Every structure is written in structure tokens, then in C-alpha cells.
Amino acid sequence: MYTNLSAANMIRLARNLNRSFDPPYARARLAELEIPLDRKAAKLSGGQRAQLALTLALARRPRLLILDEPLAALDPLARHDFMGTVLAAVSEDGVSVLMSSHVLAELQRVADFLVLLTKGQVRVADTVEDLVKTHRVLTGPADSADRVTRKLDVVQDQRGEAQAHLLVKAHGPQDPVPPGWEAHPAGMEELVLAYLRSARETRPAPLPGKLTASTGAA
């Protein structure tokens, strides 16, 4: 975004740089969003700047749209409106979208496929539908947690004095619930956080007879 240019000038610039750019589409979309064409980008709100940038991208009529943390600086309402526009582009124009995001609450609503990266490794890669189906949270007495976890594929084990909360990967929809325990579905945000925490808690074992050291940021 060139903050000293108005929205209208941004459209003219994009048209001069891209033969496939669609100025009428861009102007109509900004009018629908009530974003003034004569206002400089620096004078727009964060949500309006994000919508202007998205409009300039969509007016190029792309087949693939790559979004790098597009929601980071937006408030909840602006995030919702922004993702609504992205979903409309997917539905109406057949655009494929690859998005990186730390805003977990939006993932289940907008994503078809999730790849979770942490410490340079892929921790999870599956459709969102299957991830939600194959994970659940078990809540039960902490004093029986050790016995229960031996029989389960546990992603995260959180325990208090009285209760334990286990996020587990189920082997099938008919997996029995241990006696005295309760089960409920795992939401996408809950699932992602559990995998991130389990990665943080995992420490590689030192090699026999070798010293280990680390440098730089984690």
C-alpha cells in the first residue's frame, strides 16, 4: 500500500501495472464498502486498508490468492468482514486461497484444510472436518488419569488436583469413554493450541556421550 496515494490512484496504478486488472470491479466493490475513492490510504482505518488491498488483489482476477497474516491488525468486526469477502471470492469466482494466520478463532469457519507448523515441522495436516471428527476432550478424575492415558493417543494432558483434561486422537467414532469420564468434541482453536503446547513441551533427548547446546532465538 502506498499511503500517500488515494484509493482512486491506487486503482489507476494497479491498472497500469496489470493488463488483467478490472477497474470497474474495484470501484464498485469500494463503493459497496463505502470506502471513499478520494481518501489517501494513510487516512483509512485498518479494516478499510485491508479491504482496499484485498480489492486490488481480487480485481486482478487471480486463480490463487496468497494471504500472509491478513487478520493480524484487524479488530473482530473487520476480521469477520474481511474473511466474508474472501469466502465470497472463493464461492463466486472459484479463487483458491492459501492463508497463514495466528488468529485461531477464524480457522474452523473459513478453512477446508489445515497445516500446522511449529519448530519448522509439520505437526498436523488434514482436512478441518476430519480433524474435528477425530479429536475430542476427555474430562475425569485426576487420580485415574495415568491408567486412562495408557490406552489412548493423548495430544495434551492437563491436570489439576481433582480433575484431568485430556485432548485425545480417537481411533473411531465408537471409541468408548472411560468409566467416570466425560467426552466432548474438540474445537479447532482448542485442537491447535493443544498441538502447539505439546510441541513446546517436547524436548529432544541428548545424544549419548555428547554435550548439547543451543544458540539464537527459540
What does the pLDDT read at residue 174? Answer: 67
- pLDDT of residue 67 exceeding 60, the answer is yes
Report residue 66's pLDDT band, with 50, 70 and 90 as the boundaries. Answer: very high
pLDDT in tens, 146-188: 988 888 889 989 888 899 999 998 876 667 888 899 998 888 8
Higher pLDDT, 187 or 25: 25
- Tell me whether strands 163-169 and 135-141 are parallel, antiparallel or unpaired: antiparallel
Is the pLDDT at 203 greater than 70, yes or no?
no
Catalogue all structural domains in the chain, each as residue range(s) with its CATH number.
7-111 (3.40.50.300), 129-201 (3.30.70)
What does the pLDDT look like over 103-125, one tens digit per residue? 877 777 788 899 998 888 898 89
The average confidence (pLDDT) of the chain is 85
Q: What is the pTM of this model?
A: 0.72
Q: Are strands 163-169 and 153-159 parallel, antiparallel or unpaired?
A: antiparallel
**Model pLDDT, residue 214:** 37
What is the pLDDT, as a whole number, of residue 196?
A: 87
What average pLDDT does this structure show over 119-144? 90
Closest CA to 99 of 107, 88, 91, 89: 107
Contacts of 40 by beta carbon, 8 Å cutoff, 6+ apart: 3, 4, 5, 6
